[in-house]
Structure 1
């Protein structure tokens, strides 16, 4: 498994960077779907895990959403079992995990994503893994930023896919966010791996597929480098969003236990902080986070800053009203169905 091809070396370097904090002997799992990105990730982890002093494994996720998905998952697992590190080591764990996709109304992509995380959290717990690696690439990042731009959801949405995240106490990392999809495909060719071509990746019914096509069109019309620019913007905006979120958490403290905070105190906050505080207050009082849009928060903000002509608001899960007059006016947030 020597990294003789430049693409293999690039993937290994990316994996190496996220393994620096893994405790010696800790188990790291690569999440594999069978596509080029995740197979390249698995290929890079085996050698780098040994060099970092950690144990390595693979969790192949079968969503069961398509005919023959079990065979696709088993084929991916067999390819991972056949991988060898330069010192002859194999993966300690190669397991196919079944993801139970439940329809929630959030959309098939969101439902599949939640099911995938849930299955990986279970697999990590069963094997006492300290970290799970995901195979999102720079192309995925660019698509995510473009979708965030179209939603008009602000800096947090434009900050794209975070390099690390935690689900139900399980840490996840995405080492390939600096690596292109073409690089992962080149790794598979050089290593003799046969990635699965997911037909859903060509189905325009999915927003991410349409974003991929739009990026290709933009590259044709405006020239190459757009995915790199979007990914770079995401990195910069993530730092800004993190800082603003930290300031908002600090600013929230005086209002956290007040069911009807003074509107004047909220209005005194800078708008970038105020809108974040308002969203946190709404969610804390019972608003449904997944249904609470930027537009909803903007309506509440107008209720705070423009008292005249602003009637009560009926938002997902809560009712919001401005009560009282002048300096004593308050923002009342009541869970739906309560008086």
Structure 2
């Protein structure tokens, strides 16, 4: 349990920037215990320090999970040092989780998957429903830029949200340099520095190259570039939420679902905006697949053309052994071989 926050993390008076981060944590969480994910870097240590004040102020406990990815020779030492810092700040609920990083999706995605699984496991064991992550405004902008380059849709470009239970990101609107200054403010009385992960400077990693490109673009286009990308993510979140709600309403109203199959009258959905139709296609695929949607851009375009530009196209073979086709004025999705398709 975190101790009294009158003198939090060894300091009695903090800067306005540190107060801003504390308030960001308070504003982001429900009145309940939290887990803070920590790497030992400046972003996550600033988050731990802010939470050490903010969470006890509303009467609850802070739990810190330090994730050791085991990707570098001194990773165990880094995790141990981070634990010492956190305990010095008055947080006794500290656990170090060493994870096994796989290969699926590349090194960055695999590390993120392993890290999230470790945080979620500890949260489940302790009955905690809030996990705080230290993503900053620059992390948001980098993600937007990366996904723009990959040709993503609104939901993907909308990127991260401050609150996506159980994940909470109180610093998502805060510049990285502010977060780093606050980390130094808390660490200097201890005579220590935050860990500088060498992977954050290795151009072998995609995000490092994106970060370098973003720095160059900001120099060429002006200081509003990064806030503009982050603002676009925020605006697109509202748009994506509205379109997905519209598509879900259309699905609930018109799509008939049975085991392994679903169908809808083409006439009912042909007049809907294309952005709604494409989302409806994904919902239909997901309903038959009974898991997360795995359609790519070409899959969706193929099926959407059966609605908007019908020319007697043949069936579309989709992931999960699902076949989509139009027969007798109905768009149907069926799981199994195309020969098993029934006219719903």
What range is the shorter-chain TM-score in? 0.7 to 0.9
* Offset, 1:255: 0.8
Partner residue, 1:294: 297
Q: 1:279 to 1:130 in 2, by over 3 A?
A: closer
* TM-score scaled by length of structure 2: 0.86
Residues 10-56 of structure 1, C-alpha deviations (whole Å, 9 max, x = no match) = 2112112123x31xxx3222110111110100011111122222111
**Matching residue of 2:205:** 206
Supply the distance in 1 between the matched residues of 2:63 and 2:139 (Cα, whole angstroms).
Answer: 24
Higher mean alpha-carbon deviation, 259-268 vs 249-258, is at 259-268
Instruction: Name the counterpart of 1:8.
Output: 18
Aligned length: 321
Matched with 2:332 is 332
- Give, in whole Å, the separation in 2 of the partners of 1:252 and 1:294: 20
Match of 1:18 among 28, 49, 55: 28
What is the Cα deviation at residue 233 of structure 1? 1.5
The unaligned stretches of length 5 or more in structure 2 are 1-10
- Residues 136, 176 of structure 2: 8 Å contact kept: yes
1:165-189 Cα offsets, whole Å, 9 max, x none, are 23xxxx2210010111111211122
Which residue matches 1:177? 172
- Three-state SS of the structure 1 residue aligned to 2:311 is coil
**TM-score (norm. length: structure 1):** 0.87
Give the secondary structure class of the aligned counterpart of 1:210.
helix
Asked if 1:227 is matched to 2:226, the reply is: yes
Q: For 1:179 and 1:243, how far apart are their aligned partners in 2?
A: 26
Where do 4+ consecutive residues of structure 1 move more than 4 Å?
A: 287-291
**Residue of structure 2 in register with 1:101 after alignment:** 101
Contact 2:323 2:336 in 1 (8 A): no
User: Structure 1 residue 272 and structure 2 residue 275: aligned?
Assistant: yes
**Partner secondary structure for residue 285 of structure 1:** helix
Is 1:59–1:94's contact at 8 Å kept on the other side of the alignment? yes
Deviation, structure 1 residue 136: 0.5
Distance 1:63 1:237, change over 3 A: same
Supply the distance in 1 between the matched residues of 2:276 and 2:57 (Cα, whole angstroms): 44
Q: Deviations over 1:131-160 (max 9, x none)?
A: 211100000010111122122222111212
User: In the alignment, which residue of structure 1 is the partner of 2:323?
Assistant: 320
Residues 218, 224 of structure 2: 8 Å contact kept: yes
Distance apart, 1:336 and its partner CA: 5.2
- Report the secondary structure of 1:261's partner residue: strand
Alignment partner, residue 92 of structure 2: 92
Alignment partner of 1:48 out of 47, 54, 62:
54
SS at match of 2:130: strand
Aligned-residue CA RMSD in angstroms? 2.1
